[in-house]
Amino acid sequence: MALGVVILAAGQGTRMKSALPKVLHQLADRPLLQHVIDTARTLDPARIVVVYGHGGELVRERITDDDLIWAAQAEQLGTGHAVQQAIPYLEGLDQVLVLYGDVPLTRSETLQGLLNEAGSGFGLLTVELDNPSGYGRVERDTEGKVIRIVEQKDASPEQLAIREINTGIMAIPEGRLHEWLGKLENNNAQGEYYLTDVLAMAVDDGMEIAVSQPVDPDEAEGVNNKRQLAGLERAWQRRAADVLMDGGLTLRDPDRFDLRGELTHGRDCVIDVNVIVEGKVTLGEDVNIGANTVLRNVTIGDGVTIRENCVLEDAHIGPDSQVGPFSRLRPGAELVGGAHVGNFVEIKKSTIGLGSKVNHLTYVGDSEIGSGVNIGAGTITCNYDGANKHKTIIGDNAFIGSNTALVAPVTVGTGATIGAGSTIGKDAPADQLTVTRARQTSIPGWTRPVKKQTS
């Protein structure tokens, strides 16, 4: 059975109070619309048609999937009118699934269940809510069969008491959809063409409505304002956390964890609170991630400890290394293994060799550091001359004294020692002590300046 998916994404979203089209607002670091598209794609549809309107060019610019068909809705005249814009692209299909670009949490399994229930007929996804205010009510006859959907503004007091609501998600036979849409009228409180009226037409034609419900009501919840967006963010994050914990990951507090990309992990990994994962992150086995840490496109080997308050981006941390607290690894940073990188250390585009230590108040950029090297506190590689970047090379087992400036391009030989407080602008030979300091001088009779008294 050939399936077409129509995603309605034309609304302005005035209650978001933003210049950004509603469907481009972010949930878990992806636009709301992208979540819906990605879920739709899991159903293996023959076509996905996105109906766009307000801010449409920006929507098309931000959503770059090349398998989409775009249908413009120049005027927002209701959901029925929106689906009409997609009709030219649905010819030859069997079923049409209607989704919404601001409803991001619907599971693939839920939609597949709806399609299975509908078969070649009409399917409707409904939810029962304790407070159904704002939603269209699903009205049933005495036999429990769905007969119509009544929008809230058109509902009687008796109909308003109904707790079963219409999610708007429908599976409709393509062969009948065009016909029913042509019969829509806008004689309602909103003056709009309601897609829900198509359901009543199906009932009048003797078609029984197959009803399906999601596991969680939040699967059908849309975003109309920033509070709802924040609420769905937490719902999405808790769902993601549950999946990770079911896979063996320990989260100290799943309600204080944010996944904004893809995380894979080995056994016995532990993540503390307020950790943010972005891009693609891979953890080996026995990895511990400290609180308030950001991981962005990083690979972390077995036995690594990342202490609190670190930012790691586009970096590789080899096995049995320790990082932090308060460390920053920038793109191109690589710790081969067994390395120690400590507090207030920044590393960029550099390799730190096996067992080397960079523990305090240090900047390392565009460098190759061998194994067994100790970098003293306050050391910096002066890699930028104002126009170009230059490289620093430090051989195995070198010792760099505190407060050293290594002016690249420069090489420190194997086993070399650099005296504290040196500025090294020429290559330092292997196995020797290199020191550059001015002669220490004491000035007799010097007095410290005294603060002037103000009247």
Cα(first)–Cα(last) distance of the chain, in Å?
Answer: 92
Closest CA to 63 of 98, 37, 82, 100: 37
Distance, in Å, from the CA atom of 6 to the CA atom of 257, rounded to the nearest integer, reads 33
The single residue of 25, 54, 340, 360 carrying the catalytic annotation is: 360
Coil, strand or helix at 181: helix
Contacts of 64 (CB under 8 A, 6+ apart): none
Distance, in Å, from the CA atom of 321 to the CA atom of 275, rounded to the nearest integer, reads 19
Query: How is residue 3 written in tokens?
Result: 């399936």
Pairing of strands 164-173, 288-289: unpaired
Beta strands in 336-441 (DSSP E): 340-348, 351-352, 357-365, 367-369, 374-375, 380-382, 392-394, 399-400, 405-407, 410-412, 417-418, 423-424, 433-434
Half-sphere exposure of 454 (CA within 13 A, CB side): 0
Q: Which phi and psi (to 5°) does residue 360 adopt? A: -145, 130
Distance, in Å, from the CA atom of 295 to the CA atom of 384, rounded to the nearest integer, reads 27
Burial 387-404 (b: 16+ CB within 10 A, else e): eeebbbbbbbbbbbbbbb
Q: What is the DSSP-derived secondary structure letter of residue 229? A: H
Distance, in Å, from the CA atom of 324 to the CA atom of 279, rounded to the nearest integer, reads 21
Q: Cα–Cα distances in Å, from 117 out to 40, 47, 120, 198, 376? A: 17, 21, 9, 18, 68
Q: Cα–Cα distances in Å, from 208 out to 94, 134, 177, 211, 321? A: 17, 26, 15, 9, 63
* 360 is annotated as an active-site residue: yes
Pairing of strands 288-289, 270-271: parallel
Q: Cα–Cα distances in Å, from 159 out to 137, 184, 336? A: 7, 22, 67
Q: Cα–Cα distances in Å, from 103 out to 39, 168, 233? A: 11, 10, 12
Closest CA to 95 of 114, 113, 111, 119: 119
> Could you tell me how far CA 373 lies from the centroid of its own chain?
38
Distance, in Å, from the CA atom of 244 to the CA atom of 277, rounded to the nearest integer, reads 12
Residues marked as catalytic: 360
